Chain A
């Protein structure tokens, strides 16, 4: 663990990714304390200061009802990261289990599971999420549900492809030969060999989940006002471009920085953990 971090930090780009991810995480956790206007996350109106350009008082300007954009971005990170963590915490175990079962046990189980996965993969992710959100109410929980539903098949396929390969490895036969059962082989022999790839993909996917969640909010299908969300902030400000540029540029940059950070970190991890695409 320490060794991995040290090798990771030796690459300047990976180090930048690590720093960005740490900063964003800290900012999200401590948002209520570090935000200059902690109340501006919710339904606050301050018409004396509305739609102001960046200044010493409001570093990133204020929005149409006078709320501090910098404060709102910090709170929006909270939502984005929670959503990313929850989605991956549900999607990864489900996908991993299904991939492992299909890849190791094979036979008709593999046929059924992987064809279901193929069906999910054949629908463009955003379309599936929009369809789900159209049926359900647009809330944060449902947004998480929709994104989870489109995310697990990718893990199923990743773990399946690795498990398929590892199944033929010598150490699996060696484990069979000393009498190990299917459960032991799947979880204690094959799964550990899938972990580097899973961890790498999870890091890269944090960025993508943030983008997808923001896209849903941008379309008005995710987090609802007055709660701050990067996607809905961009959507609100888009009508006032280019005059009130700070309304869109700063939330947009915030998305960019988060995704960029997770991608750099993921790429770095991939090199360190020796995962090949």
Chain B
């Protein structure tokens, strides 16, 4: 059964002058334990899709959402705001671009960990949460968990904070993890470690992942399946190997050629808009 099932998702925003359509009928499926990437340029609709899945955009009064978003068999759009909030932090969680700003600078890591763990178990004692946090930090290979728990976010490096974020996001063993370009604010070597860490942990826990990125290199190493999104439409999708071996859609090809080479052939040229980019969707299959 699929953990996340999105069918014909439309999103528009009401503005002072009228109506702006952002998503034009997105279809996307994630099976249990599957790692799926959603790839596209800035403004293509990646992050708003994530916010709809989390049930955050439904609270925005100017947003007009239609279509089906089923999480674990429940229709997110039909739920009450309270029920949606109940899913967040327990059944689904998220990892952000910049781990340091995602942690509140006024509280210690230990304090923030307790709050996260109490989402599942409101009566959890301070000592028990401390013990659990220590184990979790140990799993993300933090060498001195006791010191980190007593520290404030700004006293730790970006890489350390990223590990803390990952440990927190997976602390309540969610069914779905949303990763919004994790680690793009960090340097490349730390980013690679981060991805390996996330992959190992989600495979261990059987967590499904929706991985949002514009970086095809990262996606290729991480995801089982890939959706390419352009201007609110899915233009191509399929298993990672098949899609990278034989990209069919003009936009996917443009994205792939846009990755700068380390060998230095100059910056690639990508057209801003092209009629080919608006060609119909191509699917390589592979979805449930």
Of A26-34, A51-59, A76-84, A176-184, the one with at least 4 CB within 8 A of chain B: A176-184
A178 contacts B98, C-beta separation under 8 Å: no
What are 30 pairs between A and B in contact, CB < 8 Å?
A169-B101, A170-B96, A170-B97, A170-B103, A171-B101, A171-B102, A171-B104, A171-B105, A173-B96, A173-B102, A174-B94, A174-B96, A174-B103, A175-B104, A176-B88, A177-B89, A177-B93, A178-B88, A178-B93, A178-B115, A179-B85, A179-B88, A179-B90, A181-B85, A192-B106, A192-B107, A193-B104, A193-B105, A193-B106, A195-B106
Chain A CB within 8 A of B210 CB: no
Contacting residues, chain B, for A110 (C-beta < 8 A): none
Contacting residues, chain B, for A178 (C-beta < 8 A): 88-89, 93, 115-116, 119
Report the 7 A-B pairs with minimum CB-CB distance, sorted nearest first.
Answer: A178-B89, A170-B101, A179-B88, A192-B106, A170-B102, A179-B89, A174-B102
Those of B171-219 within 8 Å (CB) of chain A: none
B54 contacts A177, C-beta separation under 8 Å: yes
The residues of B with any CB-CB pair to A shorter than 8 Å are: 54, 56, 85-90, 93-94, 96-98, 101-107, 115-116, 119
Once the chains are docked, how many angstroms separate the CA of A189 from the CA of B101?
A: 12
For the residues of A in contact with B, the DSSP-based class is helix
For the residues of B in contact with A, the DSSP-based class is loop
> Using a Cβ–Cβ cut-off of 8 Å, how many residues does chain A contribute to the interface with B?
16
How near does chain B come to A69, taking the closest CB pair, in angstroms? 47
A177 contacts B94, C-beta separation under 8 Å: yes
The residues of A with any CB-CB pair to B shorter than 8 Å are: 169-171, 173-181, 189, 192-193, 195
How near does chain B come to A174, taking the closest CB pair, in angstroms? 4
Once the chains are docked, how many angstroms separate the CA of A243 from the CA of B114?
A: 69
Which residue on B lies nearest to A174, using beta carbons? B102
Once the chains are docked, how many angstroms separate the CA of A181 from the CA of B105?
A: 19
How near does chain B come to A104, taking the closest CB pair, in angstroms? 14
Once the chains are docked, how many angstroms separate the CA of A177 from the CA of B88?
A: 6
Which residue on A lies nearest to B85, using beta carbons? A179
Contacting residues, chain A, for B107 (C-beta < 8 A): 192
A170 contacts B98, C-beta separation under 8 Å: yes
Contacting residues, chain A, for B102 (C-beta < 8 A): 170-171, 173-174
